Amino acid sequence: MASDKFEPVEGEISEVEIRLECLRLATEFSPENERRDPLPIADTYFDWVTKKVSKKITRKEPSKKKV
């Protein structure tokens, strides 16, 4: 197993890179019985991450207009 963690280069992180990082976390930190089938846990992590990111993107900052 690779010991290097994901270090993004400049720019956007692709969906595949996020999924791979979620899979790495699921296989590295899950209990032994869940490591046999890590994909459901990785999918749960991915859903959580994408939900948090989409909330940040859709949340609009209130505009500060000078009157």
Task: Write down the pLDDT at residue 18.
Answer: 92
| Residues in contact with 21: Cβ distance below 8 Å, sequence separation at least 6, in sequence order | 6
- Specify the higher pLDDT residue, 67 or 30: 30
End-to-end alpha carbon distance in the chain: 59
Q: Determine the pLDDT at residue 53.
A: 75
Per DSSP, helices labelled H in the chain are 15-29, 32-35, 39-58
pTM higher than the cut 0.75:
no
Q: Structure tokens of 9?
A: 């280069």
Residue 54: both structure tokens together: 């989409």
- Position 1 pLDDT exceeds 60: no
pLDDT at 52 over 70: yes
Which amino acid appears at position 52 of this protein?
A: K
Q: Is 26 helix (H, G, I), strand (E, B) or coil?
A: helix
